[in-house]
Amino acid sequence: MNYRERIFQQEGASFPGKTYVEAVLEPAFNEAKHHLLHPMMAINKAHLIMLREQELLTDDEAKRIAGALCGIEMEELRQSHYTGQFEDLFFQVESRLLELAPDVAGNLHLARSRNDMGITIYRMVLREKLLVTLTSALYLKEHLLLFANEHVDTIMIGYTHTQQAQPTTMAHYIMAATDMLSRDIKRLIQAYHTVNRSPMGAAALTTSGFAISRERMRELLGFDELVENSYDAVCGADYLGEVATAVQLAAINLGRTVQDMLLWCTQEFAGLKVASPYVQISSIMPQKRNPVSFEHMRSLLSSAAGNATTVLTMMHNTPFGDIVDTEDDMQPYAWRSMGVLEQMYRLMASVVGTMEVNKDVLLERAKGSFATVTELADTLVRTDQLSFRKSHHIVSRVVKEAMSEQLAANQISLELVNRAAIEVIGRELSLTAEELRLALDPVHFVMIRKLPGGPNPEEMKRMIAVRQAVLQQETEWLTQKKQANANVMKGLDQMTAEWSVG
């Protein structure tokens, strides 16, 4: 027996080969049962309605097909196993329809193809998963805004290049994270708009000679627009790429905030304390409170970004033609990345909403930090009409001298500042001791930074209010889209059921 015969003996001599089943067909079938069956049946119902309205089916044909559609046991299909009798779920459903309505059910495939059906199914699945992800994103945004509102007066040090930079507030930091999340939400909403366009009627590639209504199919399935060019409808995959890109960036963005908060939970930093439901103890070290919720978020968000990258990589160098079979392989990675991101949004909201902030430690650290000396340089410009660069040179000397004497920032004396001034400009300053104290006070630093977007508490409250109003608009949009999609599915079920008994 040669090697070819050995392979045929192991794999079988007819479709499908054993390994092909294991590696491709069976996993795809299991994914389809879970994710694709409901939209597939919705398309069948919508196509039936449209064909009858266009008088491409008689009343009797439509009723018999409607009865067959209603006669399919959805749960039975979900519980079925891949046997190789049918290539995939589509052909299994079609076979069942032909059993229930012999011959006439074959007309349900008039003027359509697995190509336009497949892409339409994927778009319907993606739009629902996007709405679920957006629901959790808005949930996190709500909790971040509530958390920020509690901490408009919580002074802390802001960092650049991982070094102490300037005093700010916890609210200022959280609002930056919220605004980053808001941009992610906008990208996800835009991805929804791109996804929610109907390819139905494109058929295999070039539409059909039958007088179907693509616009009616769009309406029945709840899409906002058509993918007008029929070639683009079945060949364009960038709608999926846009979703993957939005999810990838969202996961990376949230991961940066998680990384900061994990650092702030360290005993050395001592800024945050994660609530008991989100920590685990050590099996050997009794003192340990491991903030594993943040640790898991960090790694799982990386997995979400990785799965999204996989989608984009799989798209790379595929031909600009029908790639539905390739999309069978790509789509699950998009679903997984969205699923993880959605879960991390909810987990982050719970952890942040329950954690404790050590305000006293953060304030005392800011008081002793040289992060305040930017304001000292600014103050010398005001009190002594110096150029900022000369003021900067003076303050730089002050910091070096204070550090050499092991002084904290709030221990800097007017005498030390004047010594530095004499070295730089040859005279003492008109700066007073009270002006020096204020310049080195982190609370004062924050209070006077009231320009738009600054950490001043009143400015933060204004920003929070603006973003809460936007959140309300986003929530209303989400509610409307969910209801519209639910109404479409309900309408298809009702009309098909009425026809089946008519």
Output DSSP code: residue 57: S
Indicate the residue among 400, 419, 446 that finishes a domain. 446
Same domain as 252, residue 161: yes
Residue-by-residue pLDDT tens, the chain, 502 positions: 788 888 888 989 888 899 989 988 888 888 888 999 999 999 999 999 999 999 999 999 999 999 999 999 999 999 999 988 888 899 999 999 999 999 899 999 999 999 999 999 999 999 999 999 999 999 999 999 999 999 999 999 999 999 999 999 999 999 999 999 999 999 999 999 999 999 999 999 999 999 999 999 999 999 999 999 999 999 999 999 999 999 999 999 999 999 999 999 999 999 999 999 999 988 888 888 999 999 999 999 999 999 999 999 999 888 888 777 778 889 999 999 999 999 999 999 999 999 999 999 999 999 999 999 999 999 999 999 999 999 999 999 999 999 999 999 999 999 999 999 999 999 999 999 999 999 999 999 999 999 999 999 999 999 999 999 999 999 999 999 999 999 999 999 999 999 988 6
pTM of the model: 0.94
Rounded CA-CA distance 424/25 in Å is 78
Q: What is the count of structural domains for the chain? A: 3
Please, which residues have CB within 8 angstroms of residue 19's CB and are 6 or more apart in sequence?
A: 11
Confidence (pLDDT) at 168: 98
Question: Looking at residue 286, what is its pLDDT?
Answer: 82
Last residue of a domain, one of 107, 122, 150: 107
Assess contact for 247 and 341: CB atoms under 8 A. yes
- DSSP code per residue over 417-466: HHHHHHHHHSS-----HHHHHHHT-HHHHHHT--STT---HHHHHHHHHH
**Do 217 and 186 have their domain in common?**
yes
Same domain, 223 and 93: no
In this structure, are 45 and 119 located in the same domain?
no
329 and 214, same domain (yes or no): yes
| Domain assignment of residue 498, yes or no | no
The counts of H helices and E strands in the chain are 21, 6
Range of the domain at 207: 113-355+460-481
**Domain shared by 397 and 262, yes or no:** no
Residue pair 235/321 in contact (Cβ under 8 Å)? The answer is: yes
Are 126 and 103 within one domain?
Answer: no
The Cα–Cα gap between 379 and 232 comes to 62
Q: How far is CA 58 from the centre of its chain?
A: 46
Give, in order, the Cα–Cα distances in Å from 126 to each of 82, 189, 233, 239.
Answer: 24, 12, 16, 10
Q: Quote the crossing angle between the two packed helices 238-264 and 324-354, to the nearest 10°.
A: 30
Give the integer Cα–Cα distance in Å for 288 and 268. 14
Verify that 257 and 142 share a domain, yes or no.
yes
Q: Of 107, 133, 157, which marks where a domain is finished?
A: 107
Are residues 336 and 302 both part of a single domain? yes
Hey, what are 330's tokens? 């790509």
Q: Which residues contact 437 (CB under 8 A, 6 or more apart)?
A: none
Report pLDDT for 502: 65
